[in-house]
């Protein structure tokens, strides 16, 4: 047997723990109203976002217009370059010596070797 002390259940009176439960008060949910300053800040934010959206769209439209104008100018420049090249080809074809000599003989001009001046081209 052991010499340790221990409590005997039959010697102590049995106690029940009783706790009184108080009803908890229901939390009152009050909705805080939005103040005038908060409303003004919200309106200013919405107005700012709307103005910036319009500004961005108008800037993009202006950029699109400028790009379209640039493309129109480039296409007109390319067509003018093509016309200039065609005209340069015509000039070189029409300024051949044989053609000029035939045209001069047809008009009654004669080649006088003493009256010829040599002009050097570019």
User: 90 — phi, psi (to 5°)?
Assistant: -65, -40
| pLDDT (mean) for 99-114 | 86
- Could you tell me if residue 63 is inside a domain? yes
- Could you tell me if residue 47 is inside a domain? yes
- Could you tell me if residue 53 is inside a domain? yes
- Could you tell me if residue 19 is inside a domain? no
Per-residue pLDDT tens digits for 41-83: 999 999 999 999 999 999 999 999 999 999 999 999 999 999 9
Structural domain total, the chain: 1
C-alpha gyration radius of the chain: 53
- Could you tell me if residue 114 is inside a domain? no
Report DSSP letters for 53-117, one per residue: HHHHHHHHHHHHHHHHHHHHHHHHHHHHHHHHHHHHHHHHHHT-HHHHHHHHHHTT----GGG--
- Could you tell me if residue 62 is inside a domain? yes
7 against 107, higher pLDDT: 107
Q: Which of 73, 77, 75, 76 is nearest to 65 (CA)?
A: 73
The model's pTM: 0.51
Which pLDDT score is estimated for 2? 64
User: 68 — phi, psi (to 5°)?
Assistant: -65, -40
- Could you tell me if residue 86 is inside a domain? yes
Note the maximum CA span of the chain.
Answer: 161
Provide the pLDDT confidence category of residue 31 given band limits of 50, 70 and 90: confident
d(CA 74, CA 29) in angstroms, rounded, equals: 70
Could you tell me the residue range of the domain that residue 91 belongs to? 36-108
d(CA 1, CA 68) in angstroms, rounded, equals: 109
Which pLDDT score is estimated for 75? 97
d(CA 50, CA 68) in angstroms, rounded, equals: 27
d(CA 101, CA 105) in angstroms, rounded, equals: 6
- Could you tell me if residue 90 is inside a domain? yes
18 against 23, higher pLDDT: 23
């Amino acid at each position: 047997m052991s010499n340790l002390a221990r409590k005997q259940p039959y010697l102590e009176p049995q106690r029940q723990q009783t706790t009184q439960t108080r009803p908890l008060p229901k939390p009152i949910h009050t909705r805080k109203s939005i103040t005038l300053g908060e409303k003004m800040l919200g309106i200013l934010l919405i107005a700012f976002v709307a103005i910036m959206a319009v500004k961005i769209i108008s800037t993009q439209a202006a950029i699109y217009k400028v790009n379209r104008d640039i493309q129109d100018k480039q296409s007109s420049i390319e067509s003018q370059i093509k016309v200039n090249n065609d005209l340069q080809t015509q000039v070189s074809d029409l300024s051949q010596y044989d053609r000029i000599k035939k045209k001069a003989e047809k008009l009654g001009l004669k080649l006088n070797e003493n009256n010829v001046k040599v002009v050097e081209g570019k």
